[in-house]
Amino acid sequence: MEELEELVRKYYDAVDGNDLETLFSVFSEDIVYERPGYSPIKGMKDFKDFYRNNRIIKNGKHTLSNIIVHKPYVIVEGQFKGTLKDGRESYTKFVDVYTFDGKKAIKRHTYFDGQNV
């Protein structure tokens, strides 16, 4: 269980540090990512395109308050504070639900409590 928690923490460190290669390494080639305001993102090609070109966040920091691991699921509760590409400040609380197959996340679903980013 600690291994899955570490993988999820690795993801947030990578996204906050704009380390896309490490970020992508956490997910399966068949990743399905659901996020408010977007159609489901299916497959690594579209997942990479989202992070490289379509994500509206310029930079920011995730602060994690709870992580619950119950294989194959990891649930993360936290908050995000940052700047959007259009210069606006952003703050929202979120919950991410991950489904793992071994050491790779095959599904992620994000829920926002506040601003959809």
Domain ranges of the chain: 2-114
CA distances from 48 to 22, 68, 84, 89, 97 (A): 12, 26, 18, 24, 19
CB 83 within 8 Å of CB 99: no
Q: What is the mean pLDDT of residues 75-90?
A: 96
pTM of the model: 0.93
Model pLDDT for residues 18-65, shown as the tens digit of each residue: 999 999 999 999 999 999 989 999 999 999 999 999 999 999 999 999
pLDDT given at position 113:
87
Half-sphere exposure of 88 (CA within 13 A, CB side): 9
Residue 68 to residue 48: CA distance in whole angstroms: 26
Residue 72 CA to its chain's centroid (Å): 17
Of 97, 115, 100, 93, nearest to 36 by C-alpha is 115
Residue 79 to residue 62: CA distance in whole angstroms: 6
pLDDT given at position 115:
65
pLDDT given at position 37:
87
Tell me how many degrees the CA angle 77-70-114 measures, rounded to the nearest 5: 20
pLDDT given at position 86:
96
Residue bearing tokens 């908050």: 79
The CATH T-level fold of domain 2-114 is: Nuclear Transport Factor 2; Chain: A, (3.10.450)
